[in-house]
Amino acid sequence: MSSTADEGASQTAARLGLSSGQVIQEFGYDDDVDAELRTGIEAVTGTELVDEEYDDVTDGAVIWFRDGDGDLTDLLVDAMTVLDDGGPIWLLTPKAGRAGHVSHSDIEEAATTSGLHAMSTFPIAADWSATRLGTRGRGR
């Protein structure tokens, strides 16, 4: 990848609000994930993404999820297991019209059931949308 492409990938990954030194756990990796986005995340954090088996505290989670991948609620609960309080969970799903697209209502339902809520959604790569999931504040 050229330095210009590296910079573009890093700028895209920076939209996720990640910063240098953070440990980010990745779930749902497969051959269809966006390699440039993954590279950008690693460039922004300065660390390699850790896999689903990682059992130390993490600063954030990136979840690649497609319709048919299983139970999203269970996956969100798994992602929270080693996540530091307040750490972001980014759910990456195929954009509308792409194979494996997950409806926003399905995301909301799984998030609510797991104690989270969808905070924002935006396109993050050619075939992927990013939804930030956060914990519900008190009084909700």
**67-105: pLDDT as tens digits:** 999 999 999 999 999 999 889 999 999 999 999 999 999
In a domain, 7, yes or no: yes
CATH number of the structural domain spanning residue 42: 3.40.50.150
Domain count of the fold of the chain: 1
Structure-token pair, residue 32: 């269809």
In a domain, 74, yes or no: yes
Rounded alpha-carbon distances, angstroms, from residue 63 to 3, 7, 20, 139: 26, 23, 20, 28
Segments forming the whole domain that contains residue 121: 2-135
In a domain, 140, yes or no: no
**119-135: pLDDT as tens digits:** 999 999 999 999 999 98
